[in-house]
Amino acid sequence: MSGKDEQTRTKLWGGRFQQATDPTVERFSASVAFDQALARYDLRGSIAHARMLGKTGLVEAADVDVIVKGLEDIGADIEAGRFAFDDGLEDIHMNVESTLRERIGPPAGRLHTGRSRNDQVATDLTLYLRDAASAAEAGLAQLRGVLLERAREHVDTVLPGYTHLQRAQPVRLAHHWLAYFEMWTRDAGRFRDLRARLDRSPLGSGALAGSTLPLDRVDTAERLGFEGPSRNSMDSVASRDCALEFLSAAAIAMVHLSRFADELVLWSSSEFGFVTIADAYSTGSSLMPQKKNPDVPELVRGKSGRAIGNLVTLLTVLKGLPLTYNRDLQEDKEPIFDSARTLGDCLEVSAGALATLTVKTSRMREAASDPMLLATDLAEALVREDVPFREAHEVVGKLVAHCETNDLDLGGLSHEALRGFHSAFPAGADELLALERALEERALPGGTARNRVQEALAEAAERLDEEREEEA
């Protein structure tokens, strides 16, 4: 460490330490490489704190003006990429304070009055999480908007619905995609709920017990857009459950994105052939010139593991910590920053891939036209004739086995052939197993009948519009 760096550290830490920190510890404990993401929030918090110090008379107004101007200039330099971060100064807070001291001299020493790095970083992180949650909501709204546009195009596109990755029953593609709309709406709701719990300012909590100085915590809370100060100083500096909640919401959203991405990977394969992913969201092979690989959805699917891992990381960090602040809490930031960035990127590329996707409607309908997908309808035809469902299920199971053994088309069985298995069959398979009829008879709320899907699209659009109006 240079003499200047050692002098700066001594000024920041006070007179307790007589020996410079070992260089290996400097590298081990430094966080400025990643906590630069908190720079704008650190500056906002410091400006609010400085103005409060002036309002309460703890710092003279002239010094406050100099401090605020110095902080604003540092902020402009950071935004413009002109600020030289010093790894030897460990974190964003020390970098800002050290630079402020160099630029404005003694008044900089008054900025930390009544403040600890513990409540400082907790405030910065709370401000960051509010913006990160809002950004996630916005990204989810954009994706859902694209989904609704594509779903409106495909109300009459029919494909097999699957269970166990086996063809199960026919559904409308719009109905299928609206399932993801519901998932992503709940994801947005989780981030919105989180923002409601990020409404209290930690600033003024000090290291853990508050301050003997006449700080005005209500003033700083208002300046930073909070509803009020936090209710317990120890909780303020020790708790990271809102960070956990953000990571949990991000992990769940990424899992939903991963499921959607996995279907794009499957559907774009030759075996399915349901969709073609645009060239802009695909890559080729370094060896095989014919290949077109779904790399974008594959990466989304893979990156879900990062979000899940980030949640587990912070849960593990927190589980054994006594109150209040422990340096372990430095490990909260990289998982948070990574999940926020990963989720934002995945939302953006997923929206782009979906918007440019080509749907092969004829291939989907061909796959959905297999009469075996309507075997349940045969059983329910018997139920309407007062046959107990378990009996009807067994009868149709025997019919399916008969067709498979004898290479017969279930949809081609005559009324007489069906009555050979049960006398209650009211008609032949050609009438009972019509694809459009099967779709339209599923008209319960949440079903795949055309009118229900149209209603669901309209209601989904209304909900999305209401969310956007609330955020405007």
164 in active site: yes
Bridging pattern class, strands 228-229 and 275-276:
unpaired
C-alpha closest to that of 279 among 348, 358, 360:
358
Confirm if 30 and 91 have CB atoms less than 8 A apart: yes
154 in active site: no
Confirm if 360 and 273 have CB atoms less than 8 A apart: yes
Q: Which two tokens stand for residue 325?
A: 């602040």
Catalytic: which of 2, 164, 270, 423? 164
Q: How many CB atoms lie within 10 A of CB 310?
A: 26
Measured in degrees and rounded to the nearest 5, phi and psi for residue 197 equal -95, 0
Confirm if 203 and 119 have CB atoms less than 8 A apart: yes
In which element (H, E) is residue 229 found?
strand 228-229
CB-based contacts of 467, cutoff 8 Å, min separation 6: 137, 141, 188
The partner residues of 275 in beta bridges, in order of sequence, read: 359
Bridging pattern class, strands 158-163 and 166-172:
antiparallel
C-alpha–C-alpha distance, residues 49 and 162, integer Å = 57
Catalytic: which of 29, 269, 285, 414? 285
Give, in order, the Cα–Cα distances in Å from 289 to each of 275, 292, 293. Answer: 20, 8, 11
**DSSP codes of every residue in 161-224:** EEETTEEEEEEEHHHHHHHHHHHHHHHHHHHHHHHHT--EE-TT-TTTT--SS---HHHHHHHT
C-alpha–C-alpha distance, residues 115 and 86, integer Å = 22
| Residue position matching structure tokens 């899992």 | 255
Measured in degrees and rounded to the nearest 5, phi and psi for residue 15 equal -95, 5
240-51-68-47 Cα dihedral, nearest 10 degrees: 10
Catalytic residues: 164, 285
